[in-house]
Amino acid sequence: MAEIIQKDGTWIFDGDALRLIPGRDKSVALLRATLGELVVPVEALAGISFEQGKRAGRLRLRLRDGADPLLIATGGRLTEPHDPYQLLVEPDRYGVAEYVVDEVRNALLLDEVPAGPVDRYLLPGPSLPLSFSAGDGTAAFDGEQVRLEWNWKTEEAKAAGGPRTIPVTDVRAVEWQPAAGLENGHLRFVVRNGSATAPPKYDPHAVELWGFKKDPLMALVAAAVQARIPHPAAPAPRDTVPRQADGEDHDVLLRRLRELGDLHRTGVLTDEEFTAAKQAVLKRL
């Protein structure tokens, strides 16, 4: 086992996973402290490095693309204080940091873990339920639906629509953008049959962020939702509608309708899938 304990946090590697525990020092960023302990399996790792500095060094963990819903949702826009995959190391612990790096790299070699991207989440995302207030609203998520509520600073037309409840099954994508310079940030949920063209200030599916201390916490809501929608690199589901070859006759199509009925009765096809498939075949009759 390899372990390094610092004010910034503790990293423990047991050969199968790396535990990342944020420190309790007041300098630890709010996002990391709120996120809490992370357990990163070896199969999710792409690499690890250690950089020495004059006053402090830095351990950096690199995950395989697509492994962590937090990194997907934030799109690499987490700044260093909030990045849970970095650890500040004091000069008298440089040797320990290098030992941790060697142990992790050896495990990656022995387990022959590829560094390439993955098409499924290898980390579960933040614990639920979550509820944070920042910018012009509050975002809450319980695993099944997102609820957005507005405050007195919300744009009038947006607030007039009242709180917004979004089933997670309706979410196609999540966007988290921190404020930068004079540009405000946002947390936005892109929903089915909806558009994301309106500025966040007016979008009832978005919370506008103004660059205050609690803004990064909205990234945790984004990550929790991201973990419960289809992975962006997951293979597309197979078409459940049987394809018709040229020259198929009436009897063949009737047989396909009976086959669809059997699949529906046995539960292979849902009501919606059965209806769509049946209509597609009927159009060919």
Find the helix or strand (DSSP H, E) in which 163 lies.
Answer: none
HSE-CB for 87 with a 13 A CA cutoff: 32
Q: If you count them, how many residues does the chain have?
A: 285
Q: Distance between alpha carbon 77 and the CA centroid of its chain, in Å?
A: 13
**CA-to-CA distance for 203 and 217, rounded, in angstroms?**
20
Residue 270 has what pLDDT? Answer: 72
Global confidence as pTM: 0.81
Amino acid (1-letter code) at residue 45: L
Residue 145 has what pLDDT? Answer: 97
Give strand pairing partners of 173. Answer: 190
Per the structure block, which two tokens stand in for 162? 């009242």
Residue 251 has what pLDDT? Answer: 67
Find the helix or strand (DSSP H, E) in which 221 lies.
Answer: helix 218-226
What are the φ and ψ backbone dihedral angles of 23, each rounded to 5 degrees? -75, 170
Q: Cα angle at 150 between 148 and 151, to 5 degrees? A: 150
Residue 219 has what pLDDT? Answer: 97
Residue 223 has what pLDDT? Answer: 98
Residue 94 has what pLDDT? Answer: 97
Residue 144 has what pLDDT? Answer: 96
**What residues contact residue 278 under an 8 Å CB cut-off, 6+ apart?**
257, 260
b/e for 120-159, b at 16 or more Cβ within 10 A? ebbbebbebebebebbbbbbbbeeeebebbbeeebeeebb
Residue 245 has what pLDDT? Answer: 44
**Tens of pLDDT along the chain (285 residues)?**
999 999 999 999 999 999 999 999 999 999 999 999 999 999 999 999 999 998 999 999 999 999 999 999 999 899 889 999 999 999 999 999 999 999 999 999 999 999 999 999 999 999 999 999 999 999 999 999 999 999 999 999 999 999 999 999 999 999 999 999 889 999 999 998 876 678 999 999 999 999 999 999 999 999 999 999 999 998 876 654 444 444 445 666 677 777 767 666 766 567 776 787 777 767 666
User: Do residues 224 and 141 lie in contact, with contact meaning Cβ atoms separated by under 8 Å?
Assistant: yes
Residue 208 has what pLDDT? Answer: 97
